[in-house]
Structure 1
Amino acid sequence: MATMKNENVGKKRSQWAELWKNLKRNKMALLGLVIIVIIVLLAIFADQIANYDQVVIKQNLRMRLKPPSAQHWLGTDEFGRDIFARLVHGARVSLKVGILAVGIAIAIGGFLGAVAGYYGGKLDNIIMRIMDIFLAVPSILLAIAIVSALGPNLLNLMIAVSISSVPRYARIVRASVLSIRDQEFIEAARAIGANDARIICRHIIPNSLAPVIVQGTLGVAGAILSTAGLSFIGLGIQPPAPEWGSMLSGGRQYLRYAWWVTTFPGVSIMITILSLNLLGDGLRDALDPRLKQ
């Protein structure tokens, strides 16, 4: 029994080692990973980098719209607040919404997709037709409707972004399950008496994770962009809390003579999404079975 467990642990380690080996071949994916790690570290240590109340929230109108300098690396906004400090704390908000919203969407969509693909028949038809109804509405419009109904705050924003993403993961997992459920190891699990819940949780879902991981990485980028878009139109994180989309919206009227107020939040959104897309493409290539042959 202990030997079997050791073999399973060694197999998992070898799979991760092979994934990392394939990922290292893609220099652009590594660049995206490095940038994401830097952004995550900035978000984690945001409180040590800048005091939230004194630098991020407190207004200082005597310092309003100051250009980048040694004192304020990226300048100040229309209320005299340090833009770099607000970007660092805004990264925490954007990453939190992106990761948690995608995590919720993967959990719900993955479960629905696994159940639909495994059982098939009427249950599959009912679940997927409901998903088709959600897919018929553009995700950003669905998110706007949900936030408008529930109210603009962080929790409702995560709920809106996650619900609008559920159908995508349900369809991905369902497609993977349909290709897995009739394979020999599933038949072997049934033969030794494993129930449906165990087969789905221990065999089908783990073997369907590769496309979900790739889509989840790309989905975080989409969730961050949706969060910024909702905040830009006033339905996301409310001022004075720092969020990249609301910073972009607040500074657009000063674009002609204070370009830094909108440029740096926009660049932050662009770099983060680009890095996640590069990492997602690299993971897709690393998990492609054709590259392992």
Structure 2
Amino acid sequence: MFDAYEESVKKAPRKRSPWLEVWQRLRRNKMAMLGLWILSFVVFAAVFAGFIADYESVVIAQNLADRLQGPGAQYWLGTDEFGRDIFARLIHGARVSLLVGVLSVGISIVIGGALGAVAGYYGGRLDDIIMRVMDVFLAVPSILLAIAIVSALGANLTNLMLAIAISNIPTFARVVRASVLSIRDQEFIEAARAIGASDVRIIFRHIIPNSLAPVIVQGALGVALAILSTAGLSFIGLGIQPPEPEWGSMLAGGRQYLRHAWHVTTFPGLAIMITILALNLLGDGLRDALDPRLKH
């Protein structure tokens, strides 16, 4: 009898991992996979930028004899107003944009997610206090809030990440709170309370893991917004300071040469546009893949 039981267990179909099912649905979305491939290329270029082009001699050093040269065999994307290789500066600038985007959104998810989970789980007066504070932040446009923070703290990489992170906290707080409100009264939460699980354990072990789907989607879109905010702040002189390569500051430096050296601003603009497009395509695909109503 025991052998028959073992045989039936072996023949029983194994339940697939839910994340594997998400990946399978994501693979069927051609636009999402296009975004993933583009983003993978940008990440690869950023990670290996130091091997592709030397930072000091190619990215930072000026060569005025070759200034404003168009795309060609020597300089694939041309040179800027100081004779620096635009291609090399683009791939090194990708490091900055991705670093600010990922870290600032990560900070926003941790802080905003914790505030949203606490507000949604406990409700009542605590919920009102937390969400009214978030509403105050939401009343100010995120880019203006970031400008105010960077202006007060100073323009550098750390303050830039902090400013973008603070401006995105309310968005993630509201996303997590809405998800927590939809699951806090479900049976498995009541069962956890019945066996004596603490509120902290319920929030971090049961509620937050079951609220990850909308956070992942919003996180992908948030990185795109953070990259755009980084470029915008650098464009007006409140972000990464020259001669450090950053896409927004490259746009700002080349705008006065737009008529007779179109490549100086065109390629940084395309880099921003393509990266944000890839993140948006991936975010839309993740939203569809993580939607339980689309499961087959």
TM-score range, shorter chain: over 0.9
Going from structure 1 to structure 2, the CA distance change for 1:230 and 1:12 (only over 3 Å counts) comes to farther
TM-score if structure 1 supplies the norm length? 0.96
The answer to whether structure 1 residue 188 and structure 2 residue 183 are counterparts is no
Match of 1:120 in 2: 123
Counting matched residue pairs gives 284
CA RMSD across the alignment: 1.2
Match of 2:84 in 1: 81
State the AA in 2 paired with 1:131: M
Structure 2 unpaired stretches of 5+: 1-12
* Equivalent residue in structure 2 for 1:235, among 238, 261, 265: 238
Match of 2:58 in 1: 55
State the AA in 2 paired with 1:149: A
Deviations for 1:183-210, whole angstroms, at most 9, x for unmatched residues? 0000111111110000000000000000
Match of 1:3 in 2: none
Match of 1:6 in 2: none
* Equivalent residue in structure 2 for 1:252, among 250, 255, 261: 255
Structure 1 runs of 4+ with >3 Å offset: 10-13
Structure 1 unpaired stretches of 5+: 1-9
- Percent identity of the aligned residues? 78
Match of 1:140 in 2: 143
* Equivalent residue in structure 2 for 1:162, among 149, 160, 165: 165
Going from structure 1 to structure 2, the CA distance change for 1:282 and 1:12 (only over 3 Å counts) comes to farther
Match of 2:3 in 1: none
What is the SS of the residue equivalent to 2:241? coil
What is the Cα deviation at residue 137 of structure 1? 0.2
Match of 1:130 in 2: 133
What is the Cα deviation at residue 14 of structure 1? 1.2
Instruction: Tell me the distance in 1 between the aligned counterparts of 2:116 and 2:143.
Output: 22
Instruction: Tell me the distance in 1 between the aligned counterparts of 2:16 and 2:51.
Output: 35
The answer to whether structure 1 residue 216 and structure 2 residue 216 are counterparts is no
Bigger Cα Rg: 2
The answer to whether structure 1 residue 28 and structure 2 residue 31 are counterparts is yes
What is the Cα deviation at residue 94 of structure 1? 0.1
Superposition map of 1:248-287 within 5 A: 248-287=251-290
What is the SS of the residue equivalent to 1:30? helix
Deviations for 1:159-215, whole angstroms, at most 9, x for unmatched residues? 000000000000000000001110000011111111000000000000000000000
TM-score if structure 2 supplies the norm length? 0.95
